[in-house]
């Protein structure tokens, strides 16, 4: 079983220079072979792959023009083009967009696939030392959680945020597997996701959306205005840019902290099965009136966190189709209210007379659709 943990690292000035060198070289190689692939397809209508790119990379490193690529970990460069191939595979399967060129201004990262060691730092309980190729002196790591002493490190990814902080995500292989349990499919919970209430459970529980971006919107707007008034490239421009990045980082951290705590609480519920709806988030973001609130809600991230937490407990998560009429169907008698508007938060079923809270009714129906989906399969 694989588990990944993210830790903050505290490199020395010399190590920061080395890390930045790795970020730049890996970005260059990724962009070089993305352009190479685009041109090959444009001119010959043929698709090249990792094996072609790896051979070309080996030849390039022996030339005088590109010998500087030898200054960084060779396996990291190979991993960079492996990631590019994965990007193309996902594109051809219509799981993601066409790979894009990496920019220095965005989040920077590179992966080390092997030869990684993590040791306790004698005399300092706060930090441990991480050893990877090209960093023989070791990098200080703030390990804030207990790690299984028998866990084996599979790979690690170094990350530099726009605010200049450095992190490492380490993937461990641990013994055992997800716990096996007898799933009681009737013991299930449906979840309806929204904007006012982030999630509504079929048992009637409502969780109000934190609306983090809305809370910091004015502060962010003010910082962005100050940035636009600075001369690009100047020291004051760099300071203003950093302030904008810090606000974005704060919004991200608060939102992720909220979602982690919420999904942990929901996943530890007594239920064995959790049913969520499939949402066309990309299509919904085209609605200019709601796009900001939809982005702030982070539905996709909520489902991602919930999925791995549920699976680690040996439970099951089900996604129903995006076209199921969960809001318009009476959960008591099955009557479909085609006249229901988005603004109608409560409605009375004309068939059985039940008074419905729109969101709770939808969550109950989502639960039922998920159970029916299992039966038909």
Indicate the pairing of strand 316-320 with strand 273-277. Answer: parallel
Tokens of 201: 């459970």
Residue 257 a catalytic site member? no
What b/e sequence results for 312-346 when a residue is b if at least 16 CB atoms lie within 10 Å of its CB, and e otherwise? eeebbbbbbeeebebbbbbbeeeeebeeeeeeeee
Residue 277 a catalytic site member? yes
CA angle 197, 294, 270 (to 5 degrees): 40
Give CA–CA dist 139/28, Å, rounded: 24
Q: In what order do the strands lie in the sheet with 197-201?
A: 206-208, 197-201, 188-193, 273-277, 316-320
Going by C-alpha positions, the residue among 111, 121, 109, 110 that lies closest to residue 153 is 111
Which of the residues 128, 243, 272, 277 is marked catalytic? 277
Distance between first and last Cα of the chain: 28
> What values do phi and psi take at 167, rounded to 5?
-135, 160
Q: Give the SS3 label for residue 115.
A: coil
Tokens of 235: 């020291």
Cα 41 to Cα 34, 36, 143, 323, 334: the distances in Å are 11, 9, 45, 37, 53
Tokens of 133: 């190729």
Residue 71 a catalytic site member? no
Q: Give the SS3 label for residue 64.
A: coil
Give CA–CA dist 22/68, Å, rounded: 11
Classify residue 179 by its DSSP letter: P
Which of the residues 85, 128, 192, 324 is marked catalytic? 192
Which of the residues 85, 296, 324, 359 is marked catalytic? 359
State the catalytic residues.
Answer: 192, 277, 359
């Amino acid at each position: 079983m694989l588990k990944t943990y993210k830790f903050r690292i505290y490199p020395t000035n010399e190590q920061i220079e080395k890390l930045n060198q790795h970020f730049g070289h890996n970005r260059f190689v990724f962009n070089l072979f993305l352009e190479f692939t685009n041109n090959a397809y444009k001119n010959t209508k043929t698709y090249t792959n990792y094996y072609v790119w790896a051979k070309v990379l080996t030849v390039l490193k022996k030339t005088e023009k590109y010998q500087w690529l030898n200054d960084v970990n060779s396996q990291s460069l190979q991993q960079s083009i492996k990631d590019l191939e994965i990007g193309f595979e996902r594109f051809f399967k219509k799981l993601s967009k066409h790979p894009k060129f990496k920019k220095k201004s965005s989040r920077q990262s590179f992966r080390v696939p092997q030869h990684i060691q993590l040791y306790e730092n004698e005399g300092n309980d706060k930090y441990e030392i991480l050893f990877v190729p090209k960093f023989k002196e070791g990098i200080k790591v703030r390990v804030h959680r207990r790690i299984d002493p028998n866990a084996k490190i599979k790979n690690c990814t170094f990350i530099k945020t726009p605010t200049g902080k450095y992190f490492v995500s380490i993937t461990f292989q641990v013994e055992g597997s997800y716990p096996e349990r007898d799933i009681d499919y009737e013991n299930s919970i449906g979840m309806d996701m929204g904007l006012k209430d982030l999630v509504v459970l079929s048992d009637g529980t409502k969780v109000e959306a934190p609306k983090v971006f809305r809370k910091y919107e004015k502060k962010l707007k003010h910082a962005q205005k100050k940035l636009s008034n600075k001369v690009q490239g100047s020291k004051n421009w760099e300071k203003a840019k950093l302030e904008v990045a810090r606000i974005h980082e704060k919004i991200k951290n608060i939102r992720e902290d909220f979602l982690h705590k919420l999904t942990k609480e929901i996943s530890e519920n007594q239920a064995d099965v959790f049913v969520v709806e499939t949402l066309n988030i990309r299509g919904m973001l085209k609605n200019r009136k709601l796009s900001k609130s939809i982005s702030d809600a982070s539905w996709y991230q909520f489902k991602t966190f919930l999925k791995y937490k549920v699976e680690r407990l040996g439970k099951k998560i089900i996604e129903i189709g995006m076209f199921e009429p969960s809001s318009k169907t009476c959960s008591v008698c099955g009557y479909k209210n085609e006249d229901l508007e988005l603004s109608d938060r409560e409605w009375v079923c004309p068939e059985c007379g039940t008074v419905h809270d729109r969101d709770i009714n939808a969550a109950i129906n989502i639960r039922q659709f998920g159970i029916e989906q299992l039966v038909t399969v």
